[in-house]
């Protein structure tokens, strides 16, 4: 049975999640036209991320959701924009995605931390990181219907990888998550890195052993096949699929863009890079190498000032940050205790 304090804390977490989900919805602008997306007529590559089409179509045709949306229309103060059934569906998906991401992230932290000093703060830290990544923008403050589900899928995949769950579970999740968004290709890199961790250290020769390739090549083949299929299926759609190198070079050279660029993961990404050696868990310390791989990938295909392109890294960044905080706190406490013990010993000798 959960104690009253834990139940109260869970209620607060839930309310914070709802608040973030609504703020995310009202303070950002949709870049994808929901109705066109439902009909399969949106621009590529956004239309190719088709998983969320199905709940959106369900919401559009749902009589129940139409009834549930009516009370929101009466409160213009809290809901100044029209609340459609699709809005309710997106809100429910976003809340569920955040809860799932927080649960998986907390599980990884608890397993990786010897003391678990910051366990109650992991979920709030994840929400803060999400706010910095998905909302805290001066320009390009867009939202995409598949972003928070992608965060949840990555958190679940990291959970399966960290705990070395059966590969079939990871493969099934990979297939579903790929239908949602193509960034799952980078999960294969993470899986390979994790397989290289043996005896508390990363050994690259273990990462590239034949059994790992035998597992990952079929998933990579599926990923390639799926991309070919969606690009062929939506070949008549307008497209914005092209490299973003020029855009990103200009952003890096513009000082005005730097505060927004650094807001990825709630400004914790650079912190993890700087203090990566203080990550006590060998698996998470090895996972750090996903960051440079991710940055190169997004430098070519993403728009870096849209820090949402780093959103899927949040579960790792939050866990790593919590472990770094914990290590610093523990080291400081140990130093203080040692100093007090030394002073007490000197006093006893002097007496």
- Residue 311 pLDDT greater than 80, yes or no: yes
Q: What are the tens digits of pLDDT across the range 20-63? A: 999 998 899 999 999 999 999 999 999 999 999 999 999 988 88
Q: What are the tens digits of pLDDT across the range 176-185? A: 999 999 999 9
CA neighbor of 140 nearest in space, from 263, 300, 16, 21: 263
Cβ-count burial 97-130 (b if 16+ within 10 Å, e if not):
bbbbbbbbbbbbbeebbeeeebeeebbebbbbbb
Roughly how many angstroms between the first and final C-alpha of the chain, as a whole number?
A: 53
> What are the structure tokens assigned to 66, written together?
């139409």
pLDDT: which is higher, 330 or 130: 130
Beta bridge partners of 30: 143
CA distance 222 to 212: 16
Q: For the residues 67-74, what does the mean pLDDT come to? A: 81
What does the pLDDT read at residue 334? 78
**Cβ(134)–Cβ(24) under 8 Å?**
yes
Q: What are the tens digits of pLDDT across the range 286-304? A: 999 999 999 999 999 999 9
Please count the residues of the chain: 351
- Residue 82 pLDDT greater than 90, yes or no: no
CA distance 304 to 262: 10
pLDDT: which is higher, 348 or 308: 308
pLDDT-based confidence at residue 235 (cuts at 50, 70, 90): very high
Continuous H helices in the chain: 4-27, 34-39, 53-61, 63-73, 85-112, 119-134, 147-162, 167-180, 185-195, 204-207, 210-233, 245-253, 258-261, 269-274, 282-287, 290-301, 314-350
- Percent of the residues in the chain that have a pLDDT greater than 70, as a whole number: 95
**Cβ(152)–Cβ(95) under 8 Å?**
no
CA distance 71 to 175: 38
Count of C-beta atoms within a 10 Å radius of residue 21: 23
- Percent of the residues in the chain that have a pLDDT greater than 90, as a whole number: 79
Contacts of range 139-142, beta carbons closer than 8 Å, 24 or more positions apart: 139/260, 139/305, 140/303, 140/305, 140/306, 141/27, 141/28, 141/29, 142/28, 142/29, 142/30, 142/31, 142/306, 142/308
- Residue 339 pLDDT greater than 70, yes or no: no
């Amino acid at each position: 049975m959960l104690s009253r304090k834990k139940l109260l804390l869970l209620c607060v977490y839930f309310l914070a999640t709802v608040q973030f989900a609504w703020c995310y919805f009202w303070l950002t602008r949709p870049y994808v036209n929901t109705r066109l997306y439902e009909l399969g007529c949106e621009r590529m590559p956004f239309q190719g991320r088709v998983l969320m089409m199905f709940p959106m179509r369900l919401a559009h045709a749902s009589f129940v959701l139409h009834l549930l949306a009516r009370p929101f229309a009466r409160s213009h103060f809290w809901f100044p924009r029209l609340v459609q059934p699709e809005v309710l569906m997106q809100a429910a998906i976003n809340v569920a995605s955040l809860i799932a991401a927080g649960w998986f992230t907390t599980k990884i932290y608890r397993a990786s931390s010897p003391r678990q000093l910051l366990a109650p703060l992991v979920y709030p830290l994840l929400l803060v990181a999400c706010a910095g990544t998905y909302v805290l923008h001066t320009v390009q403050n867009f939202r995409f219907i598949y972003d928070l589900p992608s965060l949840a899928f990555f958190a679940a995949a990291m959970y399966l990888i960290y705990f070395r769950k059966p590969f079939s579970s990871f493969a099934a999740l990979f297939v579903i998550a790929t239908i949602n968004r193509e960034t799952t290709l980078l999960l294969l890199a993470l899986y390979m890195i994790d397989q290289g961790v043996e005896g508390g250290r990363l050994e690259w020769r273990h990462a590239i052993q034949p059994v790992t390739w035998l597992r990952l090549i079929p998933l990579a083949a599926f990923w390639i096949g799926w991309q070919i299929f969606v690009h062929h299926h939506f070949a008549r759609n307008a497209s914005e699929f092209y490299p973003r190198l020029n855009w990103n070079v200009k952003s890096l050279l513009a000082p005005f863009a730097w505060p927004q660029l650094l807001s990825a993961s709630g400004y914790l990404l650079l912190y993890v890079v700087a203090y990566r050696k203080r990550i006590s868990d060998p698996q998470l310390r090895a996972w750090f190498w996903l960051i440079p791989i991710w940055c190169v990938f997004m430098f070519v295909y993403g728009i870096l000032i849209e820090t949402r392109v780093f959103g899927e890294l949040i579960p790792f960044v939050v866990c790593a940050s919590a472990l770094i905080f914990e290590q610093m706190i523990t080291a400081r406490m140990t130093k203080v205790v040692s100093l007090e013990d030394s002073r007490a010993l000197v006093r006893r000798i002097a007496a």
